[in-house]
């Protein structure tokens, strides 16, 4: 299969619009062929990646401190759909802090949500532990006061805290940060119990809150979806970072042998953004190596840096800078703004792929706004093709982690509940992801529907957190082993 034909067939631009653009000159066309070969991952390579993925997933279940940590969440089983009550949730994600008051009606009814989002500054993301937790606690205090939640009950508000970073848990209401990801680098948090730090900040402000469950966003996505959809098999995040969670049988987790009754299902937060840090199978381009070298944690999160939303725009920028420095594009123009790291994000790439305007005029206008560079017709075509190449590779890599889980667990059908901007906003991600999954798992051609389908997660950081709090309190009230250290004295509202 010719690589250029591949990209053309995968292009969302109508063929008539592509035909209005001139053919690339010979030197530039040759360079595009090289890029297409560099970024394309064929079926055989996908299967090789998945095979190594399964090896690392198993290693993480056997022992702690492995490449893929396979963190035990102590979320025991899927929800039954009758969970109910009102709960405070806090989501500390890659960009924003979100505080919610969520009421679950039970009987798989539609939850009600009152929420506020607060943007986090770069200073908070790269500052000290005290700065971070003071910011979180202050925002919680503001929300509780503004929504008058402190007037509703004499009982502490039960809190589900969603923390979207790798953390090791011995209990559902505690967690130790293993490493910052997504460009964060807050001093004094790695290796520490995050819940203790947050509790201290809340106590300083006398917040009427009891932290019941410490939750990863991926686990939350799975549980939130399962609350409505019993066909949910995996929760996934395809956004700033990439990760997945699934239910594992306790008998298959040697590192917690004896902690749970035989055959108990427990949610595993894979944290597989660190897959193949040793670079055994991942196809690393020279641009990926630059992204890694200039990141806050060189040598870590290898898989995430080639497939996650935080990095796709930067890889795209690096390709264009390389072509410009070799005088293949943007000749005679000032590219100083393009030299700024992370000036183009994945949202920009999505918009380019969604561009239906004549001769990609919208792309040219947006590119000028972002970089000050005027695109001629050939350069518009280059920008479009490079965007596609990087997004196609990202989607195909994202399919590998899910394929490894399904292969390992012999899962043949069900729903993968996905949250994140790449999964839910990129115009072609879902189709590309499904195509790659089918190639890996050898789905039959001519099928009327895919046996494993990507669905949109039901607000894992909010609803999922609330459902997990409800599940935890219910188990604790029955005296069952809920993996709880401190929360058993709270009564569900």
Is residue 152 in a domain? yes
Nearest to 39, CA basis, from 344, 396, 326: 396
Total domains, the chain: 1
Strands 167-168 and 71-76: unpaired
Question: 175 in a domain, yes or no?
Answer: yes
- Percent of the chain past pLDDT 70, that is, above it, reads 92
β pairing state of 414-419 and 232-238: parallel
The CATH number of whichever domain residue 102 belongs to comes to 3.30.420.40
The secondary structure of residue 127, as a DSSP letter, is S
Pairing of strands 71-76, 265-269: antiparallel
The answer as to whether 365 is a domain residue is no
Tell me the average pLDDT of the chain.
Answer: 89
- What pLDDT, on the 0 to 100 scale, is given for residue 319? 98
273-315 residue pLDDT tens = 999 999 999 999 999 999 999 998 899 999 999 999 999 999 9
Rounded mean pLDDT, 38-49 = 97
CB 243, CB 310: distance < 8 Å: no
Written as six digits, the tokens of 282 are 């991942």
> Would you say residue 182 has pLDDT above 90?
no
206 found inside a domain: yes
Q: Is the dihedral of CA 176, 178, 181, 186 positive or negative?
A: positive
Reference 164, options 92, 272, 229, 234; nearest CA is: 92
> CA-to-CA distance for 190 and 166, rounded, in angstroms?
10
Dist. CA 452–CA 415, nearest whole Å:
6
pTM, two decimal places: 0.86
Pair 58, 449: CB distance under 8 Å: no
Which tens digit of pLDDT belongs to each residue from 319-372? 999 999 999 999 999 999 999 999 999 899 999 999 999 999 999 999 999 999
CB crowding 254-282: b at 16 or more within 10 Å, else e: eebeeebeeebebbbbbbbbbbbbeeebb
Find the mean pLDDT for residues 261-278. 92
pLDDT digits (tens, 9 = 90+) for 231-263: 999 999 898 889 999 999 999 999 999 888 888
User: Band of the pLDDT at 486, cuts 50, 70, 90?
Assistant: low
Structural domain contains residue 258: no
Residue 481 predicted with pLDDT over 90: no
pLDDT at site 2: 35
Q: Is residue 286 part of a domain?
A: no
Tokens 């709270």 sit at which residue? 490
**Rounded to whole angstroms, what are the CA distances from 303 to 223, 281, 282?**
24, 10, 8
Q: Dihedral of CA 137/105/85/271: which sign? A: negative
Please name the helix (run of DSSP H) or strand (run of DSSP E) that holds residue 296, with its range, or none.
Answer: none
416 domain residue, yes or no = no
Residue 489 pLDDT greater than 80, yes or no? no
Asked if residue 95 lies in contact with residue 154, where contact means CB atoms within 8 angstroms, the answer is no
Pairing type for strands 265-269 and 414-419 reads unpaired
Domain extent for 196: 76-228+458-477
Domain membership of residue 143 (yes or no) is yes
């Amino acid at each position: 299969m010719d690589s250029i034909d591949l990209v053309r067939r995968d292009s969302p631009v109508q063929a008539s619009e592509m035909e209005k653009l001139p053919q690339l000159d010979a030197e530039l066309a040759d360079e595009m062929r090289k890029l297409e070969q560099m970024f394309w991952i064929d079926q055989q390579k996908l299967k090789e990646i998945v095979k190594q993925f399964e090896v690392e997933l198993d290693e993480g279940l056997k022992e702690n401190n492995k490449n893929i940590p396979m963190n035990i969440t102590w979320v025991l089983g899927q929800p039954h759909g009758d969970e109910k009550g009102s709960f405070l949730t806090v989501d500390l994600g890659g960009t924003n802090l979100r505080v919610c008051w969520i009421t679950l009606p039970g009987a798989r009814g539609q939850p009600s949500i009152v929420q506020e989002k607060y943007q986090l500054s770069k200073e908070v993301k790269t500052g000290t532990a005290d700065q971070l937790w003071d910011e979180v606690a202050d925002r919680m205090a503001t929300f509780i006061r503004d929504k008058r939640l402190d007037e509703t009950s004499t009982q502490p508000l039960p809190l589900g805290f969603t923390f979207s970073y790798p953390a090791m848990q011995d209990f559902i209401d505690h967690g130790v940060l293993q490493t910052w990801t997504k460009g964060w680098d807050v001093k004094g948090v790695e290796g520490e119990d995050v819940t203790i730090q947050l509790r201290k900040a809340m106590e300083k402000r006398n917040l009427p809150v009891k932290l019941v469950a410490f939750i990863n966003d991926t686990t939350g996505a799975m549980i939130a979806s399962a609350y409505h959809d019993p066909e949910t098999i995996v929760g996934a995040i395809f956004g700033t970072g990439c990760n997945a969670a699934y239910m594992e049988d306790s008998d298959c987790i040697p590192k917690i042998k004896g902690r749970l009754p035989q055959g108990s299902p427990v949610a595993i937060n894979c944290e597989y953004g660190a897959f193949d840090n040793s670079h055994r199978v991942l196809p690393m381009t020279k641009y990926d190596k630059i992204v890694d070298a200039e990141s806050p944690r060189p040598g870590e999160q290898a898989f995430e840096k080639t497939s996650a939303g935080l990095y796709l725009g930067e890889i795209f920028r690096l390709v264009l800078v390389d072509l410009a420095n070799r005088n293949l594009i943007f000749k005679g123009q000032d590219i100083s703004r393009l030299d700024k790291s992370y000036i183009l994000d994945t949202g920009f790439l999505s918009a380019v792929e969604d561009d239906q305007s004549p001769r990609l005029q919208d792309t040219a206008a947006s590119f000028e706004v972002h970089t000050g560079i005027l695109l001629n017709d050939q350069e518009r075509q280059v920008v479009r093709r490079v965007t596609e190449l990087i997004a196609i590779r990202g989607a195909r890599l994202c399919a590998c982690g899910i394929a490894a889980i399904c292969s390992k667990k012999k899962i043949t059908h069900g729903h993968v509940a996905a949250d994140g901007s790449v999964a839910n906003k990129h115009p072609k991600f879902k189709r590309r992801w499904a195509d790659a999954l089918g190639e890996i798992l050898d789905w039959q051609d001519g099928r009327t529907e895919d046996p494993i389908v990507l669905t949109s997660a039901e607000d894992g950081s909010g609803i999922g957190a609330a459902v997990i709090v409800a599940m935890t309190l219910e188990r604790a009230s029955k005296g069952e082993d809920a993996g709880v250290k401190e929360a058993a004295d709270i009564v569900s509202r």
